[in-house]
Chains A and B, each alone.
Chain A
Amino acid sequence: MVGPTTSLSQLNRADGSASYKCPATGYNILGAVNAPVELPGRRDALKPEEATVEVFVKPGTTTAGVGERYVEGILRSVLGKVVLGREKGFPRRGVVLTLAIVGGENIERGDSYLTILPALLHAGLLAMMSASVPLSMTFAATLLCVTKSGDIVRDPSPTAAKAAVSLHVFAISSKSHLLLNESEGRFDFDTWELARQHALSICQGASDSSDGDVSMSEGKDGSLNGFIREAVEDQIYSDYAYKLDSI
């Protein structure tokens, strides 16, 4: 299976940006982050001691509708909890994330938004890291579908997702917390638990180091958290290449 690809800091004018492409589902997302910025608007309505996270999702071919409002709400609540909004320079300011759906199947009115949610989460997280927004943890998300025969399929194509009995999106943090779950369809709790464990192994990787050390081979085993880590490592390596050269 071909893994996702990403590249960080593509846009010049944004504080941070990332493009994320998932070949299995076909989605291509471009994310840009500006942080911290001064926000216009009513100050008294916001929490003054924290940064406000704002998310905008822009579909590729149409204007944003009610489905985008919904997915923006989910992204805001997930990222808002992960961003350390009380770090120096962040309170009373805003973290503005814009995600454009550049490629992939269109999501029609009333369609499930779950198929694109992992790609949006990854693009958002990578853009945040590209902008050096302080985060308490990273996470990885995955889409699983349960077919009629009861098999759990990872990253189904949009047509396969429509035919599935149930769809599940899980976001697992780098410390194995369940950050987000969105499931729909018809299923019982045991199916959900199976899917959750499947997602945990996809996001964390099969090798479970119990000694608390970060294993050096992380990312090689194809886990999604390892993929996120590698992407950022590569970016930092190229950013600080001049320092390495001078040593």
Chain B
Amino acid sequence: MASSTPSHPVPPSLSLPPSQFARLQPHAYLLAHLSPPAASNQPSLRANGRAASQFRVTSANAGSLTHTNGSAVVRIGDTAAVCGVRAEILHTDDIASWSVSQASSEQNTDKKPEEGDTDSQDKEDRAHIQDLNLLVPNLSLSTGCAPGFTPGAAPSALAQSLSHQLLSLLHSTRLVQADDLRIWYQPPNLEAEALGEQMDVDSEGSGNPAREIKAFWVLYIDVMIISLAGNPFDAAWASVLAALRDTKLPKAWWDADNETILCSDDIADAQKLSLRGLPIASSFCSFEADAAAGWRAVVIPDAEEQKAQEQKQKKQGMQQRWILADPDGYEEGLSQERACVVVDKENDGKGNTVIVKMEKHGGWGLDADDMRQLVDVSARRWDEMKRILDQC
């Protein structure tokens, strides 16, 4: 009743709770976190509490799905990706151009025997994996992974372009070896046996008949993003990598009597894929202090001028641009410029860092010096991810 209400009502507060401020003024909110007032002695942290080059907590678990040949769940912060690899058999009889392409490739190898071994192997790998489409990745951003994904809609442009990125990275890194995917048949040397009864002197001359490829394994690599909170590519690629490392293909052989491929159901016979290297993806975004810088100043300074200007401002403690590693959904919405670096290290981490893919677009803030830093950050991330993937 009236007596229970306080006699001195609290005046309505003019301040907003942080969560509301974050929704109303997202750019100012993140900027305030990144550039705290000098007097407050606070470190420059992102709104999610991470330092600029800090990645989210990552966890991986392999072999989560029972009905696949290999599977993995990778979680980077609140972004979670499930990947399943399923192998199916593709008979060479079902490949329309098989006999033609086989004949032409044999001719090629006859012509250039002096070429390096790895070189011709590369070519054959590409010919088989790429031309026969033995790797089929697909990524789906399922309903409910983030608001805005409505049920029953066609695959979004984002999902399609991520599928393409996964496929082209699988091809350009040559991660899967074509030899793992081939099913061979060694025809028995019937002539030798027949001859052997009559005379065992000349049997060496005839030799064994050449073995032939009877079928291929096709790997269907399906990635499902079950929760999307920014940076889907890193999570999807990590899940593909973990799932392929987990993949076991059953021992398969051509049965000449039944004229079909048979597979062994003994798990001990199954073989893991031998992957080439361990490419790890790291994505970044660039956050500009002045959200309107791109369009208000119609006359944009030259690259050198701009750099000098930024250096000057940085000295005065007014940083204009932050490169944020592993951006979450909130940060992705506030920045246009993106960069992605995929690195690998030779000799299982002891050798040099090799860049496998590098991309940046959507702005002119990042220059060559920034890219060099990003490669260093990505190389550190490689060590971290290798540890996580080895444990899973």
Contacts and interface: CB of A to CB of B under 8 A. Distances in A.
A238 interface: no
B163 A136 contact: no
Interface string A178-199: 1111111111110011001000
B171 A192 contact: no
A185 B306 CA distance: 31
Interface string B322-353: 00000000000000111000000000000011
B133 A185 contact: no
B375 interface: yes
Contact of A176 (B168, B171, B303, B361): B303
Nearest to A196: B368
Contact of B171 (A50, A110, A186, A196): A110
B33 interface: no
Contacts, number: 129
Contact of B356 (A45, A110, A176, A186): A186
Interface in A168-216: 173, 175-189, 192-193, 196
B358 A78 contact: no
B161 A73 contact: yes
A84 B295 contact: yes
Interface stretch (A62-70, A96-104, A217-225, A227-235): A62-70
B298 to A, nearest CB: 6
A143 B21 CA distance: 45
B356 A185 contact: yes
Given A77-B336, A137-B300, A189-B375, A182 B361 contact: yes
Interface of B: 126, 130, 133, 135, 148, 157-158, 160-161, 163-165, 167-169, 171-172, 294-295, 298, 300-304, 306, 336-338, 352-364, 366-368, 371-372, 375
Nearest to A72: B157
A179 B361 contact: yes
A180 B356 contact: no
A136 B375 contact: no
B161 to A, nearest CB: 4
Contacts of A69: 157, 160-161, 164
Contacts of A67: 164, 168
A90 B371 CA distance: 33
Contact of A184 (B157, B160, B357): B357
A72 B353 CA distance: 31
Contact of A112 (B160, B168, B301, B304): B168
Nearest to A73: B161
Contacts of A72: 157, 161
Interface in A41-100: 45, 50, 65-67, 69-70, 72-74, 77-78, 80-81, 84-86
